[in-house]
Structure formats: C-alpha cells, structure tokens
Amino acid sequence: MRRIVAALALALFLAAGFEAARSGEKRPPAEQRYVMVTMITAHPFWNDIKKGAQDAADQLGVKFEFTGPVEWDAAAQANQLEQLIVTRPAGFIVGSYDPSMTAAINRCVAAGIPVVTFDSDAPESRRMTFIGPDHYKLGREYGKYMSGLLNGKGDIGLLTVPAQTNLNERIRGITDYCKEYAPEVKVVAIEDNGGNDQITAEKAKSMLQGHPGMAGVIVCNATGSGVAAALKELGKVGKVKVLTSDVSDPILKGIMDGAIDATSYVNIYLEGYYSLRLLYDYYNGLTDKVPGMAQGVNKLPENVDPGLFFITSDTAGAFFSAR
C-alpha cells in the first residue's frame, strides 16, 4: 500500500511539473539549477568540463551540480538521472555512453525537463542538442596521426572500453582510415582497459609482450598514463609510438618524459560551457523566435563540435592543472 501511495505521489508530482513547464512558468536565474550526470565521477577527465559548466553558471547567476556513480556504471547513471527528475532541475546535462541512456533521457523530457547531451550523444533520444565531437571523424584523425608517426607502416594496438558507444565509433574511424589511406598500418590487438589507468598499464604490458613487433599504441579514452607506465617497465620508451586521448597531469608528464608522443584534446571545457549556456537559453525562452518553431523546428542547433587538437612535448607544459 505504501508503495502505491508513493508511486501515485510521484506521478502527481511529475504531472504538476510537466504542466508548469508547458504553461511557460519559469524560475528566476537565482532559483534555476542545472545538473550534469555522468557515468563515472572519479576520473580527472571531467575537470575541464565541470569548469566550463561552472564558469557558465557563474556568468548567468544560476546553480550547477555535478553527479553520477563514482566508478563506471551506465545502469547506475541512468537510474540516478531518473531519480533526479523529482528534484525538478531547470535542465539536465548528460554524457550518454550507453544505449540505455536514451530511455532515461526521454523520461526526463516527458516530465518537462529539457536535456542536452555532451561528449557522447544519444541521437535517437529527445535531447535538445549535442555538444561534442563526431567520434567517428575523431577516430579517423587518430588513424591519420598514428600513420604519420609510423611513416605509414607498422602493427598497432588499441586500448578502449567496448561498452562505450563513442569509443566504438573512434575505433571504427581508426580502422577505416588505415584501410583506406595506410593499409600497412594494421590493428592487431584491441583490449578492454575498463576506463582504469592501472588496468590500462596491465593490458598494455600484456599486449606489447604478446606482439613484440608492435610499433604503436592508441588509447581511445583518458587512461593513457597507464601505457607510459607499461613502456617504462618494459624498457620500450621511445621504441613504441603512443597516441593517447584527453588531458590529465599524468598523461602530460608521460609526454614530457618521452613515453607518449601526443594526446588528443577535444575542447571539453567548451562542452561544459556551451551545454549549460544553451540549456539556459532554451529554458529561459531566449531562442523562442526561431522561424518554424511552431512547426517543430528545434530551437537549438542539432550539434556543436567544440574542436580537436593534438598536444605534444612542445605544448604540454601549458596544460598542466597547476598552470
């Protein structure tokens, strides 16, 4: 009986919130709260994204919160997102790395809460816009960069998390580029690093030992410092070309030490900044004059690409967190 009453109360609460959203009732900026929900909060990858969102919140005079499971857990992320509906934020900012997020996002929108995705998209969902890269194109850039490091010839290994949709697109881009433009660069191993630097070190070591002639390694997520540790242990620093993803002090140190040749950097600060800023514009009706809105035209751009560049030893010093 108690469960039935609770469920009924929740349904009435959501219905009231949805009607308020439809009627155009808006809270003033000081009372608006925007919540970012990710599938793992413990990794430093999020630091620049959080800073971008917080800077936007400070400029606009609104509240920003960051939450999600501590360790990688897509199901827990989806559950937490749905549980947060009852807190009635002005909007959600969601990194969608698993297909299960589509249903969770749709439930938020059905409850009258707009959602913006960032870094990894849920294109089949009812999200308003996506702020992040085309991960397939990013993968092609990885393939191009690595083939340049290897002068177009050599076996390579990839470290990734197979469960992440965005990383699968990166791998597809890498392999397609190599097949089309660098056929002598061959992917001979793909290992699951679990999104963990220590596991990355272990998998990189076993991969390099299993393929003694391996000439290059690409880390598709933000755990590249593990490869640097493996190369140092095996005495292969400078003998294997390494391309990593994203920025953290351990990765930058690996570049400065010569164990990592370069790391890719999607401008994730802008992912956080524009995710919150565009969501604010949508919630506050600042884009309501878009032509065709009454006919279903999206009031926000379908996607915004924040840009990609590569960091090498010449530029790494500018990106340390103590800068």
Tell me the per-residue pLDDT of 261-300, one tens digit each, with 9 for 90 and over. 999 999 999 999 999 999 999 999 999 999 998 888 999 9
The two tokens of residue 111 are 């409850």
pTM across the whole model: 0.84
Which of 40-49, 211-220, 229-238 has the lowest average pLDDT? 40-49
The lowest-confidence range among 12-16, 41-45, 122-126, 262-266 is 12-16
Q: Does the pLDDT of residue 21 top 70, yes or no? A: no
Dump pLDDT digits (tens) for 241-265. Answer: 999 999 999 999 999 999 999 999 9
Question: Tens digits of per-residue pLDDT, 52-111?
Answer: 999 999 999 999 999 999 988 999 999 999 999 999 999 999 999 999 899 999 999 999
Whether the per-residue pLDDT at 8 is higher than 50: the answer is no
Alpha helix (H) residue ranges in 1-150: 2-23, 47-60, 74-83, 101-110, 135-149
Percent of the residues in the chain that have a pLDDT greater than 90, as a whole number = 85
How sure is the predictor about 185, in pLDDT bands with cuts at 50, 70 and 90? very high
Query: What is the predicted pLDDT for the residue at 323?
Result: 52
Burial status of residue 114 (CB atoms within 10 A of its CB: 0-12, 13-18, 19 or more): buried
The more confident residue out of 21 and 121 is 121
The Cα–Cα gap between 79 and 306 comes to 28
Candidates 106, 95, 100, 9; CA nearest to 49 is 95
Domains assigned to the chain: 2-131+268-307 (3.40.50.2300), 135-245 (3.40.50.2300)
Q: What is the mean pLDDT of the chain?
A: 91
Residue 174: name the closest of 141, 126, 196, 207 by CA: 141
pLDDT at 42: 86
pLDDT digits (tens, 9 = 90+) for 190-222: 999 998 999 999 999 999 999 999 999 999 999
Other C-beta atoms closer than 10 Å to the C-beta of 160 total 25
DSSP characters over 279-315: HHHHHTTTTTT-TTGGGT--SS-SEE---EEEE-TTT
Q: Which long-range contacts (CB under 8 A, 24 or more apart) does 76-84 make?
A: 76/39, 77/37, 77/38, 77/39, 77/101, 78/103, 78/104, 79/104, 80/37, 81/37, 81/105, 81/108, 82/107, 82/108, 84/35, 84/37
pLDDT for position 322: 58
